[in-house]
Structure 1
Amino acid sequence: MPYLANLERYDTMTYRRCGKSGLKLPAISLGLWHNFGGIDSFENGRTLVRRAFDLGITHFDLANNYGPPAGSAEETFGRLLKEDLASYRDELIISTKAGYYMWPGPYGEWGSKKNLIASLDQSLKRMQLDYVDIYYHHRPDPNTPLEETMAALDLIVRQGKALYVGISNYKADEAREASRILKRLGTPCLIHQPKYSMMSRWIEDGLQDVLDEEGIGSIAYSPLEKGILTDRYINGISPDSRAAGPSVFLKPEDINEERILKVKQLTELAANRGQKLSQMALAWVLRGGRVTSALIGASKVSQIEDAVGALRVLDFSEEELSRIDAILK
């Protein structure tokens, strides 16, 4: 049967303005970093995307190298768009990125104009799209002038291949300079995508202030610290977990006794708030409104439902925030 989206999909989702732009993003966005590659179940990916959209998640985040194999997540999403979401294209925010290694030779990574434009052309073909809503430079390039990288992003918008541009993994001073170059060119930086969680707070050391000053939104990736800020590893590493497999993103040594003890204490605090630990972790990232959206990954529908459920309780008392800091000190 053809897919028909839930008519009530916008009734309960929270949408936040992205920086000083006119664009709003859902407080929870779905990333296709894992579970949408060529080695994964297409039908499971379809179920995840459908449920996300039915819950009001309009933003789907990709990159050229997501898979595995690299590029296959975009191919999967392109098929989902064609078969399920074509009639809803104008209700979707689709983002992709370039900057990490994608193909051999001197033009297959980093931040040259050659790389960024060639990569986006490939991404558009894989997703069967005329344009993406947001195009990111995925990481700073120490060897390419920032002016060249930002000029490429500006050109891409002027070519109509992206509506907005963003940056990812840029430090505070790099983000400030990138933003000012883009403003001079006439294409403001919409958004920054940094890693941010209760256990990884580097953006609080200047980057958040820069984003506020420059009017740039933010979307936090790994808000659950690669799954550590969930109840999944409280009793150790289960055989079916990502840490037990060949993942290069989470290693068994990331989950030690000290961390498990902290997770147990945080789980107890979350229960007192009426939340799962994963929900409290998402709420913590979104607290105060400085982060526009939390970017989650999912392998099960229940994980998406839990994430959206976190939006029901976003406020923290000073006592709760102090307790979290004490646990993670």
Structure 2
Amino acid sequence: MSYAASPERYDRTPIRRSGRSGLQLPALSLGLWQNFGNTRDPLTQRSTVLDAFDAGVFHFDLANNYGPLGGQAEINFGRILREDLAAHRDEIVISTKAGWAMQAGPFGTGGSRKYLVESLDRSLQRMDVDRVDVFYHHRPDPETPLAETAAALDFIVRSGRAHYVGISSYGAEASREMAALLRGLGTPLAIHQPSYSMMNRWIEADGLLDVAAEEGFGVIGFSPLAQGMLTDKYLAGIPEGSRAAAGGSFNSQALTGEVIERLRGLAAIAEARGQSLAQLAISWALRDARVTSLVAGASSSAQFTENLAALARTDFTAAEVAEIDEFAVDAGIDLWREARLGGPLPDISAVDRAPLAELP
């Protein structure tokens, strides 16, 4: 069935400017981290992307290692773009990243010029596009000078591979330093993508939001639902078949009795506002104008549609904020903290990648 985009799509989702740049994004962006690999139904992936676009969500967030297998999400998204959305390419913001482990060898991870440029070339090949709109350095690399990483990002823009550049999971001071380096090269830092949720508020304590406002870059928070913790799913414990039960990136040990009680407290606040817990979490994370957008994944169109409804309620009274603050405290789920603080690069001896035969 051929796809025809909804003519009302830009009436449905608020659009925010990223810092002082010309980059504008929908308040909620679709992330392809967990649900667009080779273990998910291609028709569900297609309907989720197309329904999001019909709702005014024109930003699709990827990385070289998203899958599973690594690279598969880019392959699958590229197929949807080519078969259904090619006529709308100029409307769409595609972002991808490199920095975490993608392949074996010394240039399979990190922040070197060789890794970043060649990884992006592979990403363009997988998606069958000639450029992306935003390219991020996905994590700090303690083994590569920041100036080299900045120069690589500048080259990526000047060579036409990307329109804007960003960083992810950098601390406040490293972000300030990167912004200064890029400004000196003539390629401003457009955006930062940190983890951010009610249960992971490090960007407030670290001062990253203040640095973003001072330096002029936007903030797009990822994992605003704390990988599903901030949904109704875990209010009674860990159900079978959930991400927490399956292990992986979700640390089920974080769901202590105390944390579940906090989740129940937040769920009660959400109910009083006429929202689900997930909707409250998204509304809350967008309450600050310095947050340009949020990246949220979805296993189906219905799930993403529920999340979009949160955009109508980003207003909070002072009493609501104070009540939320009683329950919204750190729950030990910041998986990216070690990287932000200069931790070592991950082991890349056994990285699973999509085979090159699957490239378009």
Aligned to 2:233: 232
Q: Tell me whether 236-245 or 29-38 shows the greater mean CA deviation.
A: 236-245
Q: Is the 8 A contact 2:196 2:222 kept in 1?
A: yes
Q: Is the 8 A contact 2:212 2:290 kept in 1?
A: no
TM-superposed deviation, 1:251: 2.8
Q: C-alpha offsets along residues 190-248 of structure 1, whole Å, 9 cap, x if unaligned? A: 00000011111111121111110000001000111111111011122222211222x42
The one-letter code sitting in structure 2 at the alignment partner of 1:138 is: H
In the TM superposition, 1:73-92 aligns within 5 A as 73-92=73-92
Q: C-alpha offsets along residues 111-157 of structure 1, whole Å, 9 cap, x if unaligned? A: 00000001000000000000000000000110111010010000010
Aligned residues: 328
Aligned to 1:22: 22
5+ residue gaps, structure 2? 330-360
The one-letter code sitting in structure 2 at the alignment partner of 1:229 is: L
Aligned to 2:221: 220
Aligned to 2:136: 136
Rounded to whole Å, the distance in 2 between the matches of 1:322 and 1:122 is 47
Q: C-alpha offsets along residues 257-276 of structure 1, whole Å, 9 cap, x if unaligned? A: 21111111111101111111
The one-letter code sitting in structure 2 at the alignment partner of 1:234 is: L
Rounded to whole Å, the distance in 1 between the matches of 2:248 and 2:146 is 29
SS in 2 for 1:288: coil
TM-superposed deviation, 1:38: 1.5
Aligned to 1:114: 114
Q: C-alpha offsets along residues 86-107 of structure 1, whole Å, 9 cap, x if unaligned? A: 1110110000000001010000
The one-letter code sitting in structure 1 at the alignment partner of 2:244 is: A
TM-superposed deviation, 1:328: 3.3
SS in 2 for 1:232: helix
Rounded to whole Å, the distance in 2 between the matches of 1:228 and 1:38 is 24
Q: Percent identity?
A: 54
CA RMSD of superposed structures (Å): 0.9
SS in 2 for 1:163: strand
TM-superposed deviation, 1:256: 2.0
Rounded to whole Å, the distance in 1 between the matches of 2:282 and 2:263 is 14
Rounded to whole Å, the distance in 1 between the matches of 2:134 and 2:273 is 35
Q: Tell me whether 164-173 or 35-44 shows the greater mean CA deviation.
A: 35-44
Normalised by the size of structure 2, how large is the TM-score? 0.90
SS in 2 for 1:279: helix
Rounded to whole Å, the distance in 2 between the matches of 1:162 and 1:47 is 27
Q: Is the 8 A contact 1:35 1:41 kept in 2?
A: no
TM-superposed deviation, 1:254: 2.3
Rounded to whole Å, the distance in 1 between the matches of 2:43 and 2:30 is 16
Aligned to 1:202: 202
Taking CA–CA contacts closer than 8 Å with sequence separation of 6 or more, which of the two structures ends up with the larger relative contact order?
2
The one-letter code sitting in structure 1 at the alignment partner of 2:210 is: D
SS in 2 for 1:100: coil
SS in 2 for 1:10: helix
Q: Is the 8 A contact 2:212 2:218 kept in 1?
A: yes
The one-letter code sitting in structure 2 at the alignment partner of 1:141 is: D
TM-superposed deviation, 1:323: 0.6
The one-letter code sitting in structure 2 at the alignment partner of 1:175 is: S
The one-letter code sitting in structure 2 at the alignment partner of 1:204 is: E
TM-superposed deviation, 1:288: 2.8
Q: C-alpha offsets along residues 9-64 of structure 1, whole Å, 9 cap, x if unaligned? A: 11121000111011210000000001100222111111110111111000000000
In the TM superposition, 1:25-44 aligns within 5 A as 25-44=25-44
The one-letter code sitting in structure 1 at the alignment partner of 2:157 is: V
Normalised by the size of structure 1, how large is the TM-score? 0.98
SS in 2 for 1:86: helix
Aligned to 1:320: 320
SS in 2 for 1:63: coil
Q: C-alpha offsets along residues 142-180 of structure 1, whole Å, 9 cap, x if unaligned? A: 011101001000001010000000000000110000000
Aligned to 2:278: 278
SS in 1 for 2:4: coil
Q: Tell me whether 249-258 or 9-18 shows the greater mean CA deviation.
A: 249-258
Aligned to 2:55: 55
Aligned to 2:175: 175
The one-letter code sitting in structure 2 at the alignment partner of 1:238 is: P
TM-superposed deviation, 1:317: 0.7
Rounded to whole Å, the distance in 2 between the matches of 1:31 and 1:137 is 16
Q: Is the 8 A contact 2:131 2:160 kept in 1?
A: yes
Q: Tell me whether 292-301 or 125-134 shows the greater mean CA deviation.
A: 292-301
